[in-house]
A and B are shown apart, each in its own frame.
Chain A
């Protein structure tokens, strides 16, 4: 049997769907195991596919499959992965498996199990679709479809304010992505006016030419949707509610993958389709990214609720991703992509930390969990690694994101680099504050000694995200090999279309 001909990507969308069917028709007590098995299988499929991905040609779309939906509009279900998509695809299958194996032993998940696991498998399938579709309408369909599972997960299994948060989450993302829809169809009609046929294919739309004003208008239509999804600071208000009220596994998927949809799409569509406009708007966007880092860090420090604390810290990390991306040079783009992956790992781990402590203490209050971690050595060790990674300590996963962003900024001016360093400083500050609260503050010890350390499936979930952090931190070049070729193509495209970057 020829392994390379296996349709890896369609397979990893179909497997979860098969899992959903089984969950629906089999009895409730088996649903968690079905979910675990099928997301595990998907993870294995994605890991096997690593051997067949040609890293030397990572700027080319590989594992490509297509199915024509409407001939006349050139609407096709085109699935495939280049380096960037592929990295996100691996992250998706990994984190979905982590989220499901965490849920097995989560006390919060004690009712309507069938629906719960079905929604998680559905979100896995659609997320794979988001990162691997090359047809913009199909991308949009998957992008919107990820809303539905998360809406129900937040609304049914969330904490106290779950309904409010679910509404807010849905309405923010749904309305903002309508702008994206308008942008997509405008691109297509523009293509029609230039080339005489409609198309939604990414490669076809790359050929479009715009004058600057219209281009900026389209850029903004795309940008509104992704700025809300990412989120960038004035649009971030849905995030602390959604992440704070979702059950642990929901927050894990939200923070680790759903936010990456925004940054992935910014990189893929805004920079890929509108190089000229990106160069034009670049100073604004870089500064906006840095502002996001700084403001979000301040918001983070002032939080009382540890889950909202972690949620805001995600926003500040996304600031690094956005700022790095719009630096539009090799270091910046590398920083941005590796930070996406690294943040997927650290935020998953931090949310599991919050959920774990809640299971023991039944509180998210920062004061309540002072010094709570000291009698759980394994847990304390894992959280320590995560926190240092997230802070950007050399050897930790976020180090490369921050370091390379500073390098990239230094290519323009020293002042810009200093601004990024200031942002990085605040992000260290809140992490240190979290660690101080967890490890160093004291609490009457009688209440804590009977705490049971992390074990079983929860330990597995932790290890699956903590070990890759070392991998990212110590061997970043393994990951650069995923997307270096892609970055080179983007940059050469920028030089070709926009004539390089004049802003120095």
Chain B
């Protein structure tokens, strides 16, 4: 290589990096104001956050087809990252309305929350747009550290601290595994760029496979794949419920993004390892997640296990390293981010009703006192179950399609078993809400914005199922693009 090209100075193309920059600046403004004003007022913090996020969102939407690399190939922007970032920002904006009401009710108000939220969003956005091992590592840390803190943000609650602590320890392990894997990958490829590493047809294939598996295991912990899932139910249960919703939606998208980016890079030489490793992990994950969810009495914990199970379904799609698999996975991930967020947000709202402990029998006859919440929750549960015409059905059909494409019949048959088990617990909640008599009288009203955003999310679950082309027309070109076709 010529010396000149080594020392050439590239001016960063900030047009590509602009959304992240805005989110970062928003975070810093919030941080600074919080210090200057001693305690920033919530309306101001929410206003600044929403304004920053909206600018970033608008920028991405207006420049959706923007494509390029900057910071010496560290940072990549393409339609894939734009698509995921749009969802992340939208869901974060929705979340802001719920957190304030929730924190006020729990009398656990932290103004730090707002800038930590924007830092985690920044990390997630970068995770979705990089091939570089180092940058992935940093972004992963940014998201994780924010999540540890946010999990613990519940005053006078031991579970919250316990969950955060478990998350911290296992998160540390995950970072260790991922960076260890990154070292092997570097040894093999002599580069930090995943695209170069995986395209290289080098001599020491075992280094590559070891590195890739360790790297995947690191992410598996974050995603909540069995047998690395032990932190997840505790953290999800202990965290303030809106934060749980955030981790189950934006967190899922962020942690899955690099794995999905690796998918199209899978080469013939380690294709088989990829398929077997991920298929086995997927099967264990969705079977375990569904079986354990079945026996939970606490609904929040049950939904946490259902989130594990859904990670399994997504992994089953990831194991098929083909375009159809990629399309299925991206669609599934985005659909799950809405379903997961909606179902946890319903719990977050319900918790404001006073003596609500998220026990399953408390949902008995919910249709009488809270018809709106019951309806929204039922839609999200049926979508999680995969009943047509909701989007949950469509994405499961896509995963089945990609499994049959790869002729992974055993995974498909076991997945039928997994979904079959899941009918038990989703249906029980629907039955309790609509067919049993009332147990608890709940007298409170969700705010108008909460109602509006939940209604929009529930509606979008149905609309995306009936008219799948709305999202498909974005996902399909993105997948083709990632595969370089």
- Partner of B387 from the list A148, A163, A188 (CB cut-off 8 Å) is A148
**Residues in A151-180 with C-beta less than 8 Å from chain B:** 152, 155-156, 162-163, 166-167, 170-171, 174-175, 178-179
Chain B residue nearest in CB terms to A170: B427
**Residues in B364-410 with C-beta less than 8 Å from chain A:** 382, 387-389, 393, 396-397, 400-401, 404-405
Contact B401 A70 (CB under 8 A): no
A249 close to chain B: CB less than 8 A: no
Contact B420 A144 (CB under 8 A): no
CB-CB under 8 A from B435, the residues of chain A are 152, 155-156, 162-163, 166
CB-CB under 8 A from A174, the residues of chain B are 387, 420, 423
CB-CB under 8 A from A74, the residues of chain B are none
CB-CB under 8 A from A178, the residues of chain B are 416, 419-420
CA A21 to CA B100, docked complex, whole Å: 36
CB-CB under 8 A from B17, the residues of chain A are none
CA A85 to CA B423, docked complex, whole Å: 31
**Residues in A126-155 with C-beta less than 8 Å from chain B:** 137, 140-141, 144-145, 147-148, 152, 155
CA A175 to CA B422, docked complex, whole Å: 10
Q: Given A148-B387, A155-B434, A182-B404, are A170 and B423 also a contact pair (CB < 8 Å)?
A: yes
Contact B419 A175 (CB under 8 A): yes
Most buried by A among B393, B396, B424, B467: B393
Chain A residue nearest in CB terms to B382: A148
CB-CB under 8 A from A444, the residues of chain B are none
CB-CB under 8 A from B388, the residues of chain A are 140-141, 144-145
A305 close to chain B: CB less than 8 A: no
CB-CB under 8 A from A155, the residues of chain B are 431, 434-435
A181 close to chain B: CB less than 8 A: yes
Chain A residue nearest in CB terms to B428: A167
B172 close to chain A: CB less than 8 A: no
B446 close to chain A: CB less than 8 A: no
Min distance, Cβ B292 to any Cβ of chain A, angstroms: 19
CA A167 to CA B435, docked complex, whole Å: 12
Contact B389 A145 (CB under 8 A): yes
* Total residue contacts A-B, CB cutoff 8 A: 75
Contact A185 B387 (CB under 8 A): no
Contact A181 B400 (CB under 8 A): yes
Q: Say which size band chain B's interface belongs to.
A: 20 to 34
Contact B419 A171 (CB under 8 A): no
Chain B residue nearest in CB terms to A178: B416
- Pick out which of these stretches binds chain A: B120-128, B235-243, B448-456, B468-476: B468-476
CB-CB under 8 A from B467, the residues of chain A are 69
Chain A residue nearest in CB terms to B421: A175
Contact B423 A171 (CB under 8 A): yes
CB-CB under 8 A from A147, the residues of chain B are 387
- Partner of B423 from the list A144, A175, A179, A185 (CB cut-off 8 Å) is A175
Q: Given A141-B389, A145-B388, are A181 and B397 also a contact pair (CB < 8 Å)?
A: yes
CB-CB under 8 A from A70, the residues of chain B are 468-469, 472
Contact A185 B469 (CB under 8 A): no
Min distance, Cβ A309 to any Cβ of chain B, angstroms: 26
CA A192 to CA B434, docked complex, whole Å: 43
CA A174 to CA B382, docked complex, whole Å: 12
Contact A185 B416 (CB under 8 A): no
CA A174 to CA B423, docked complex, whole Å: 8
A209 close to chain B: CB less than 8 A: no
CA A178 to CA B397, docked complex, whole Å: 9
CA A77 to CA B401, docked complex, whole Å: 19
Contact A186 B416 (CB under 8 A): no
Contact B434 A69 (CB under 8 A): no
A189 close to chain B: CB less than 8 A: yes
Chain B residue nearest in CB terms to A71: B469
B187 close to chain A: CB less than 8 A: no
Chain B residue nearest in CB terms to A152: B434
B294 close to chain A: CB less than 8 A: no
Chain A residue nearest in CB terms to B419: A178
Q: Given A69-B467, A137-B397, are A189 and B419 also a contact pair (CB < 8 Å)?
A: no
Min distance, Cβ A265 to any Cβ of chain B, angstroms: 16
CA A485 to CA B405, docked complex, whole Å: 36
Q: Say which size band chain A's interface belongs to.
A: 20 to 34
Q: Residue-by-residue, is A179-200 near B (CB-CB < 8 Å gives 1, otherwise 0)?
A: 1011001101100100000000
Chain B residue nearest in CB terms to A148: B387
Chain B residue nearest in CB terms to A141: B388
CB-CB under 8 A from A145, the residues of chain B are 387-389
Contact A182 B416 (CB under 8 A): yes
Min distance, Cβ B151 to any Cβ of chain A, angstroms: 35
- Partner of B468 from the list A69, A175, A188, A189 (CB cut-off 8 Å) is A69
CB-CB under 8 A from B382, the residues of chain A are 148
A72 close to chain B: CB less than 8 A: yes
Min distance, Cβ A279 to any Cβ of chain B, angstroms: 24
Chain A residue nearest in CB terms to B432: A163
CA A145 to CA B462, docked complex, whole Å: 13
B412 close to chain A: CB less than 8 A: yes
Min distance, Cβ B343 to any Cβ of chain A, angstroms: 18
Contact A141 B416 (CB under 8 A): no
Contact B416 A175 (CB under 8 A): yes
CB-CB under 8 A from B412, the residues of chain A are 182
- Partner of A167 from the list B419, B427, B469, B476 (CB cut-off 8 Å) is B427
**Residues in B423-450 with C-beta less than 8 Å from chain A:** 423-424, 427, 431, 434-435
CA A72 to CA B468, docked complex, whole Å: 12
Contact A69 B419 (CB under 8 A): no
CB-CB under 8 A from A156, the residues of chain B are 434-435
CB-CB under 8 A from A137, the residues of chain B are 397
Min distance, Cβ B402 to any Cβ of chain A, angstroms: 8
Contact A171 B424 (CB under 8 A): yes
CA A139 to CA B27, docked complex, whole Å: 50
Most buried by A among B420, B435, B468: B435
Contact B400 A182 (CB under 8 A): yes
CB-CB under 8 A from B324, the residues of chain A are 189
CA A171 to CA B387, docked complex, whole Å: 12
Min distance, Cβ B331 to any Cβ of chain A, angstroms: 11
Chain B residue nearest in CB terms to A69: B469
**Residues in A346-400 with C-beta less than 8 Å from chain B:** none
Contact B404 A185 (CB under 8 A): yes
CA A155 to CA B367, docked complex, whole Å: 15
CB-CB under 8 A from A189, the residues of chain B are 324, 401, 404-405
Contact A144 B404 (CB under 8 A): no
Contact A171 B420 (CB under 8 A): yes
Chain A residue nearest in CB terms to B406: A189
Min distance, Cβ A371 to any Cβ of chain B, angstroms: 37
Min distance, Cβ A472 to any Cβ of chain B, angstroms: 34
CB-CB under 8 A from A163, the residues of chain B are 431, 435
Query: Given A145-B387, A171-B427, A182-B400, 10 other A-B contacts at CB below 8 A?
Result: A69-B467, A71-B469, A72-B472, A141-B393, A145-B389, A148-B382, A174-B420, A181-B396, A182-B404, A192-B405
For the complex of A and B, 5 pairs with smallest distance between CB atoms: A185-B401, A175-B420, A141-B388, A186-B404, A178-B416
A-B contacts, 28 of them at CB < 8 A, read A69-B468, A69-B469, A70-B468, A71-B469, A140-B397, A141-B389, A141-B393, A144-B388, A144-B393, A145-B389, A147-B387, A148-B382, A155-B434, A155-B435, A156-B434, A163-B431, A167-B431, A170-B427, A179-B416, A181-B397, A181-B400, A182-B400, A182-B404, A182-B416, A185-B397, A189-B404, A189-B405, A192-B405
Residues of B within 8 A of A (CB): 324, 382, 387-389, 393, 396-397, 400-401, 404-405, 412-413, 416, 419-420, 423-424, 427, 431, 434-435, 467-469, 472, 476
